[in-house]
C-alpha cells in the first residue's frame, strides 16, 4: 500500500506543474480575449489548438444586435481574404491532376496580350504579378459581360502596375482571376469545386461560398464600431467577393481546415510545402508570401498566416508548424480591435516566447541611454525622455505615455499593445528604436543626436 501511495504522489508531482502551466496559459488567453469585448456589442469567436487538440474555444458579444442574439461558437462569419488559402489549394489540386502548372503563363487561360499574358500562375498566387494597374491598355476595347471570364479578361486588359516579379503588392485581382481559371479547368463553378474538393473531404459542414440568396443558418450580422456609434454594415453583391474573399465559415470548421491540410487529404505534403515557401522576387529578395499565406517568423518561430476584412467582418488565422499551434479569430465588426495582434500574443504565449506586458524593474542609470529625439524616414519625430526614474514616449501633438520596461531593451505602452524595442549598434549604444503592434507594422526611428523637444502633456511645443 505504501508503495502505491508513493507512486501516486510521484505521478501527481510530475503532472500537476504541467496541468497548472497550461491552465495558467489558458487563463491568460481568456483574460486577453474577454477584456476586448462588451457583452452588448458585436463580438466574435476564438479557437486555439495545440498539438492538434483544441485547448480554448469561446464566443463573445452579440451576433445580431437588433434581435438581441448573443454569439456562440457555432456562428458563421465571412472569413474574407482568408478565402485566398482555399483558392490557392484548389489551384494546387489542379496542379497535382496535371491540368495546370505553376510556371504556365496567364495567356494560356485568359485572353490577354503581352506583357500581361506572360504573367505566371506562380506570380499570381504570390501577389508578384503586377496585374491590375492604372487604366486599360486599350480603352476602346474593354471586355464586356458579367461572368467570371469577362471579369478576368477585364483585369488582363488593364495596364501592368509593375513588371511581373519585380515587387510584391497585395491585389485581390490575382485571386479573382485564379477563381475563373479553377472554373475553366474543372468545368464547375467555384462554389461547386470548393464544396466538393475541400469542404466535404475536410468535414467542413458549416462553411459556404458567398451568395446573396440562400439562407445560412447561424450567420452573424456585420457591424461597424466607430466613434459615432455602432452601425450596420450591409453587404451587397456578395458573390463578387468570389475567390479572393467570398467564403463563410466557423472557427471549428477553420480548425478542421488546418487539420485537413496537415493530414494530407487535400494535397500531398510536397505540393503543400510550395504554398508555405516564401516566393522570391526577380532580384532574389523574399516576398514573405507563399501561395495564399504570409510567411514570416514570430519571435523566431516560423508561421503561416492571413487576415481578412470586408465590410462588417474581420478574421485572422495563424499557424506555427514547428510548435503545432493554430489560432483563429472571427469577428462580426470593423473596429479598432486587431485580431492579428491578438493571435500573435496568444501564439507567442503558447510557444513559450511571450510578449510580457508586465513591468519589470530597471536600474535608473540605464535609462539615460535611451533618451533622445528619434526620427523616421518621413521626418516624423518621437521624444524619449526620462524623469524620476521613468521613461516616456511622446509624439509632437500627441499624449505623453509612460514606457514600461519588460525586458532588456524592450518596453511597452499601455495602449493598443504597442511594443517598443531599442536597437544597439556595434558600439553597444542605442542608435534606433522600432515601434510595432507586437511585431506587426514595424516602424523604425533613428536616434538623431538633436536635443529633445520641449513638449507639454498634450504634445504642444513649449517655447
- Residue 370 confidence (pLDDT): 94
336 plus 426 within the same structural domain:
no
- Write down which residue in 301, 324, 354 finishes a domain: 354
- Residue 16 confidence (pLDDT): 47
- Residue 100 confidence (pLDDT): 98
Q: Is residue 239 part of a domain?
A: yes
- Write down which residue in 329, 354, 379 finishes a domain: 354
337 plus 408 within the same structural domain:
no
Q: Is residue 431 part of a domain?
A: yes
- Residue 134 confidence (pLDDT): 77
C-alpha cell at 137: 491598355
Q: Is residue 456 part of a domain?
A: no
Q: Is residue 14 part of a domain?
A: no
304 plus 200 within the same structural domain:
yes
Domain containing 399: what range? Answer: 364-447
288 plus 425 within the same structural domain:
no
- Residue 8 confidence (pLDDT): 41
433 plus 292 within the same structural domain:
no
Q: What's the domain count of the chain?
A: 2
Q: What is the pLDDT along the chain (463 residues), one digit of tens a residue?
A: 455 445 444 444 444 454 567 789 999 999 999 999 999 999 999 999 999 999 999 999 999 999 999 999 999 999 999 999 999 999 999 999 999 999 999 999 999 999 999 999 999 999 999 998 878 888 777 888 888 999 999 999 999 999 999 999 999 999 999 999 999 999 999 999 999 999 999 999 999 999 877 899 999 999 999 988 999 998 888 889 999 999 999 999 999 999 999 999 999 999 999 999 999 999 999 999 999 999 999 999 999 999 999 999 999 999 999 999 999 999 999 998 999 999 999 999 999 999 888 899 888 877 879 999 999 999 999 999 998 889 999 999 999 999 999 999 999 998 888 999 999 998 999 999 999 999 889 999 999 999 999 999 888 988 7
277 plus 423 within the same structural domain:
no
What gap in Å lies between CA 423 and CA 410, rounded to an integer? Answer: 9
**Residue 406: CATH number of its domain:** 2.40.128.50
Q: Is residue 326 part of a domain?
A: yes
What gap in Å lies between CA 439 and CA 9, rounded to an integer? Answer: 43
412 plus 348 within the same structural domain:
no
- Residue 224 confidence (pLDDT): 96
Q: Is residue 459 part of a domain?
A: no
- Residue 2 confidence (pLDDT): 54
106 plus 170 within the same structural domain:
yes
Q: Is residue 202 part of a domain?
A: yes
The tens digit of pLDDT for each residue in 404-422 reads 999 999 999 988 889 999 9
The tens digit of pLDDT for each residue in 259-279 reads 999 999 999 999 999 999 999
- Residue 143 confidence (pLDDT): 86
237 plus 167 within the same structural domain:
yes
314 plus 423 within the same structural domain:
no
342 plus 368 within the same structural domain:
no
Q: Is residue 7 part of a domain?
A: no
Asked if 381 and 389 touch (Cβ cutoff 8 Å), the reply is no
- Write down which residue in 319, 354, 389 finishes a domain: 354
81 plus 202 within the same structural domain:
yes
pTM of the model: 0.90
**Residue 279: CATH number of its domain:** 3.40.710.10
Amino acid at each position: 500500500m505504501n508503495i502505491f501511495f508513493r507512486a501516486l504522489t510521484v505521478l501527481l508531482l510530475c503532472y500537476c506543474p504541467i496541468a497548472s502551466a497550461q491552465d495558467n496559459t489558458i487563463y491568460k488567453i481568456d483574460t486577453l480575449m474577454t477584456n476586448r469585448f462588451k457583452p452588448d456589442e458585436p463580438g466574435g469567436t476564438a479557437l486555439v489548438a495545440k498539438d492538434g487538440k483544441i485547448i480554448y474555444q469561446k464566443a463573445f458579444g452579440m451576433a445580431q444586435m437588433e434581435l438581441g442574439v448573443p454569439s456562440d461558437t457555432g456562428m458563421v462569419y465571412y472569413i474574407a481574404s482568408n478565402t485566398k488559402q482555399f483558392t490557392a489549394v484548389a489551384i494546387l489540386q489542379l496542379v497535382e491532376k496535371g491540368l495546370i502548372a505553376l510556371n504556365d503563363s496567364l495567356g494560356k487561360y485568359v485572353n490577354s496580350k503581352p506583357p500581361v499574358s506572360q504573367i505566371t500562375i506562380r506570380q499570381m498566387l504570390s501577389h508578384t504579378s503586377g496585374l491590375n494597374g492604372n487604366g486599360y491598355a486599350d480603352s476602346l476595347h474593354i471586355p464586356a459581360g458579367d461572368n467570371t471570364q469577362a471579369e478576368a479578361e477585364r483585369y488582363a486588359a488593364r495596364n501592368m502596375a509593375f513588371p511581373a516579379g519585380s515587387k510584391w503588392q497585395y491585389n485581390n485581382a490575382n485571386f479573382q482571376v485564379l477563381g475563373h481559371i479553377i472554373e475553366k479547368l474543372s468545368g464547375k463553378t467555384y462554389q461547386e469545386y470548393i464544396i466538393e474538393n475541400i469542404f466535404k473531404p475536410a468535414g467542413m459542414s458549416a462553411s459556404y461560398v458567398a451568395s446573396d440568396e440562400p439562407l445560412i443558418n447561424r450567420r452573424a450580422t456585420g457591424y461597424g464600431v466607430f466613434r459615432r456609434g455602432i452601425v450596420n454594415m450591409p453587404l451587397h453583391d456578395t458573390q463578387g467577393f468570389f475567390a479572393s474573399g467570398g467564403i463563410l465559415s466557423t472557427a471549428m470548421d477553420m480548425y478542421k481546415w488546418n487539420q485537413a491540410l496537415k493530414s494530407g487529404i487535400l494535397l500531398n505534403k510536397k505540393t503543400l510545402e510550395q504554398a508555405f515557401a516564401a516566393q522570391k522576387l526577380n532580384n532574389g529578395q523574399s516576398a514573405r508570401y507563399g501561395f495564399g499565406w504570409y510567411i514570416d517568423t514570430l519571435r523566431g518561430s516560423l508561421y503561416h498566416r492571413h487576415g481578412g476584412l470586408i465590410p462588417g467582418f474581420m478574421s485572422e488565422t495563424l499557424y506555427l508548424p514547428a510548435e503545432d499551434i493554430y489560432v483563429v479569430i472571427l469577428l462580426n465588426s470593423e473596429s479598432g480591435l486587431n485580431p492579428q495582434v491578438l493571435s500573435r500574443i496568444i501564439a507567442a504565449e503558447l510557444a513559450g516566447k511571450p510578449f510580457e506586458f508586465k513591468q519589470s524593474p530597471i536600474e535608473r542609470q540605464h535609462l539615460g541611454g535611451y533618451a533622445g529625439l528619434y526620427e523616421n524616414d518621413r521626418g516624423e519625430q518621437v521624444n524619449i525622455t526620462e524623469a524620476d526614474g521613468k521613461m516616456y514616449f511622446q509624439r509632437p501633438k500627441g499624449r505623453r505615455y509612460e514606457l514600461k520596461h519588460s525586458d532588456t531593451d524592450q518596453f511597452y505602452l499601455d495602449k493598443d499593445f504597442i511594443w517598443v524595442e531599442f536597437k544597439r549598434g556595434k558600439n553597444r549604444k542605442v542608435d534606433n528604436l522600432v515601434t510595432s503592434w507586437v511585431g506587426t507594422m514595424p516602424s523604425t526611428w533613428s536616434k538623431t543626436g538633436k536635443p529633445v523637444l520641449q513638449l507639454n502633456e498634450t504634445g504642444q511645443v513649449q517655447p
